[in-house]
Structure 1
């Protein structure tokens, strides 16, 4: 959490103070990943906003919220509230702290913003733990459409698309929309940075059975869009391989405690193989068959390169 912005960190501090009666300064500093001096500054920020944070001295002392007092709304404007919610949601896979802070954000927002943030929270998935930049207006339009099951239209690569939007997905690099494309009658993934002129249409749709949004988008961006897809069994734990490959470059699924399956794509078979070789772990090609043939070709080439003249 040491990369949190000030607003997110103060929300996390507020959440911690509401969880337990008393916290010492060092305890809060450790949980937030900051110094005790930063904790003192953030406590002062809460006090300026009207939160009754008491500080006790000596044994058993520490920070605590004043008892029996109603907490005031958090003083955020619309853009700050949306930006904070987006950052928390995009980082939610890193642990429970972001989700707790998001819950606190919902509790202390003014009523006019609470509904909008809840719409966003219910319409966002993520993979890769990234925090990509976003167009908050476009994001909120799509979040509302996902929530309310309202069809939307937008321009995408100079062509108009009409879709049923289902879920927004944040990757380690960018934002995507999972939607049912009415023109192509199939599920599609759309990059938000390539969408323009987003507008809600005048009709609601009946929800279809939906694929797992994060998994569908990850497979789309890491392999499905490429000419070739390679499927491998790797003799290493899934967590080990995920730490070596960006989430947008491959899908890693645990097979056993010491093996995993990796699916990746590229425009060239040799590129996929060399990428796997550079991971530094033994692996087996599962498919396609032509990828196994390339293993022999590359092995012969490497053996020849290693011969002394």
Structure 2
């Protein structure tokens, strides 16, 4: 698809969202000038799309009331891809908030599938399984998701109503850098303009969102996914843990991924010794300590618990327990 064609289709989508759009707004959203917007509108009119021109101070363009797009023409592979996407979205919790639309869309596509393809799809769905249970995680509101996506795309500040993990409700302003799916949940990550610090918010805790006037510069540094993982690893929890582990980076990360632990990779690490076994400093912030001793034991590499003492006691208790099992055998 050529770039001008893509912009014409984007223009159509903007008009379909409802209301009257000014030429200046459309030009800003499409990244073109006003003359080009008018040319794109003419192309839509030539395709029998009823675009109306609204005059006056708040004038612009809008679609005629009651206009609907013609039916989509999907090939077999395209229809199968859409159905599988709907099924996966429902099972992973992404589309459960719009269950009615999800189910009606699936039904419409299935009705027009050729019989042989419908049979193959049924066979696939019978063989398909998921590790996550449907509805295991809360699903973000579709309107909030789209509003924040618009804020990310156009680098506009967003005002967000948010309920934190202690149940406190408040209003936050965020320069949103991206939306990230991780471990069955959805997050928006960005910068708090008041403090300049990174923030990662769970989308199922966002009660409302709206874009604000103005813009912010494109972010530098790590991408949204890495920011989310770093946020998890450095968040404030009940226990602060410091370890030294004699192992390769890969072996440590297999048990303590970036979303859980911060691994000191300074110094010789810059010289490409990720595959070398040496003493490496690892820091974690956790709510509970009881899961760490089995993880450390599974590394099968020397380690030292620098803090806290409670973790050292739990490791010693596990070692004693395992030793007693071996002696009994």
Query: TM-score, with normalisation over the residues of structure 2?
Result: 0.45
Greater C-alpha Rg:
2
